[in-house]
Chain A
Amino acid sequence: MKTMLLSAGFGLLLPTAAMAQTVEELPSPYPYSEPAWSPYLVGALIGVLVLVTLSLAGKRVGASSGYADAAGLIGRVIAPRHVTSLSYYRENKPMIGWSLVFVVGVIVGGFLAAWSGGELTGRFLQDMWVARFGADSYALRVVVALAGGGLMAFGARLAGGCTSGHGISGTLQLAVGSWVAVICFFVGGISTALLMYRG
């Protein structure tokens, strides 16, 4: 577990050091791809979905807690005594519940949408990453993605939600903490992205 913490810490430094040698200028303006459906329509439908889950299930639409449950469930299989020794998992018992099946559903939904629209990528390095860090930057991408996912999950648990739970479900219920959190998501994200891609 110490190595995990260390890798999360070094994850910030290592890629920065490696980037200094491999970065290329990103085209400006960058040719961003168009969404298949109108983003306004998609957003409105997500708003309706949040209302449906609130009224029928009494649940917020959120993704990050599903990962926490999954991590705890994996722990329950591999090292049950360790999981039960953690106060977090005693207070939030990791079970196959709404949050976890929701996230699994999102994977399936993402597949169905991409498959039906001929947008399945099947790629490890995405266009913009390749344009910036080169076509052979697999190791760098692994380190950055691991560090990113790790920090994001930690931050989401600390803040009490992610872009879905706070950013959409919480803000539209006018929760103060959700507005504070989503502003901080973007402050942290914009600063880091500008350093990574336009620095």
Chain B
Amino acid sequence: MEKWDVRSQDADSASADHWDWFEGSPGKLLGGAVCGVIFGFLLQKGGVAKFDVLVGVLLLEDFVVVKVMLSAIVVGMVGVYLLRRLGAIELQIKETKYGANIIGGLIFGVGFALLAYCPGTNAAAVGQGNYDALVGLLGLLAGSYVFALAYPFTSRTLSRWGNAGKITLPELFHVPTGAVVAVAVPLLVVVLVVLGVYAR
């Protein structure tokens, strides 16, 4: 996977003429757009497209974001467990790369606090009329391109530190998935109840 000289790649991929503009059928794209509309609608109705609410969670003063995230995780975790047992879905997870997950995660966090919107909520905030999120959008586009420029470096260094493959918590702790779900779900529900009673 070494990419020392970008110009030595096969001629086929050297020209953008050979790249399609659309990926997936019109039906699939329509499905993606509909799912996006629903996601954006829910984010805004849940109040998490708001600047104050997003900064508030990082100041540990407002927990609406935590309530939304943990509720989604609880429902999704139970659902994924059951649907997998039925054979209805396969896991769609990324490789665990401790170095990249940690360093990238910390950089992401700093950017999140500066912008106050994360990538998903930034899009919802644009729709909501927060004009500063349009500047955030430009920053997100620029940062993505800068990453593409830096990729030959990061893929040879940071992204190679601590690669563990596509592992899950049950595999990490050598316990059945059902056991992890049976412990995590009640735990997260308790956190949600405590937040509901004591936090706003």
A153 lies within 8 A of B105 (CB): no
With contact pairs A149-B111, A175-B93 given, residues A106 and B39 touching in the complex (Cβ less than 8 Å): yes
Task: From known contacts A83-B16, A141-B135, infer whether A95 and B23 are also in contact, taking CB-CB under 8 Å.
Answer: yes
A59, B39: Cα distance in complex, Å: 14
Mostly, the B contact residues are helix
Interface residues of A in 22-56 (CB under 8 A from B): 29-30, 32-37, 39-56
Q: How far is the CA of A99 from the CA of B79 in the complex (A)?
A: 23
User: How many A-B residue contacts, CB cutoff 8 Å?
Assistant: 605
Q: Is the CB of B72 within 8 A of A192?
A: no
Q: Counting CB contacts under 8 A, is A13 at the interface?
A: no
CB-based contact A188/B70 at 8 Å:
no
Query: Are B36 and A103 touching (Cβ within 8 A)?
Result: yes
Partner of A40, one of B48, B67, B150, B177: B67
Q: Is the CB of B132 within 8 A of A109?
A: no
Q: Find residues 79-106 in chain A having any chain B CB closer than 8 Å to their own CB.
A: 80-81, 83-90, 93-99, 101-106
Write the chain B residue with the least CB distance to A159: B104
> Given A43-B46, A44-B72, A49-B42, A180–B114 Cβ distance below 8 Å?
no
A18 contact set on B, CB distance < 8 A: none
> A149 is contacted by which of B37, B48, B80, B140 (Cβ under 8 Å)?
B140
Out of A43, A68, A84, A191, name the residue touching B147 (CB < 8 Å): A68
Enumerate chain B residues within 8 angstroms of A192, measured Cβ to Cβ.
58, 109-110, 112-114
A198 shortest CB reach to chain B, Å: 6
Closest chain A residue to B23 by CB distance? A97
Q: Which residue of B has the minimal Cβ distance to A146? A: B139
Once A71-B142, A176-B172 are accepted as A-B contacts, the answer to whether A105 and B100 lie under 8 Å apart by CB is: no
- Contact status A60-B92, CB under 8 Å: yes
Which residues from chain A contact B80 at a C-beta distance below 8 Å? 51, 54, 172-173
In the bound complex, what is the Cα–Cα distance between A72 and B142 (angstroms)? 10
A177 and B94 in contact (CB under 8 A), knowing A61-B35, A93-B19, A149-B138?
Answer: yes
**In the complex, which residue of chain B has the Cβ closest to the Cβ of A126?**
B51
Instruction: Report the contact-size class of chain B (Cβ under 8 Å from the partner).
Output: 35 or more
Complex contacts, B36 vs chain A, CB 8 Å: 101-106, 108-109
- A125 and chain B: residue at smallest CB distance: B132
CB 8 Å contact bits of B64-91 with A (1 = contact, 0 = none)? 1001111111111101100100001111
Contacts of A183 in B (CB 8 A): 105
Question: Which residues of chain A are within 8 angstroms of B187 by Cβ–Cβ distance?
Answer: none
- Residue among A32, A47, A53 making CB contact with B73, cutoff 8 Å: A47
- Cβ–Cβ contact B35 & A158, under 8 A: no
Q: How far is the CB of A96 from chain B (nearest CB, A)?
A: 5
Contact (Cβ within 8 A) B73 A163: no
Pick from B39, B52, B98, B138: contact of A102, CB under 8 Å: B39
Give A residues with C-beta under 8 Å from B. Answer: 1, 4-5, 8, 11-12, 15, 29-30, 32-37, 39-61, 63-64, 66-68, 70-76, 80-81, 83-90, 93-99, 101-114, 117, 119-129, 141-142, 144-194, 196-198
With A33-B53, A39-B67, A145-B133 known, 19 other A-B pairs at CB within 8 A are A8-B146, A11-B114, A32-B53, A36-B45, A37-B46, A45-B42, A46-B68, A47-B74, A51-B80, A61-B35, A63-B122, A68-B148, A108-B40, A110-B127, A113-B43, A124-B130, A153-B143, A155-B108, A174-B184
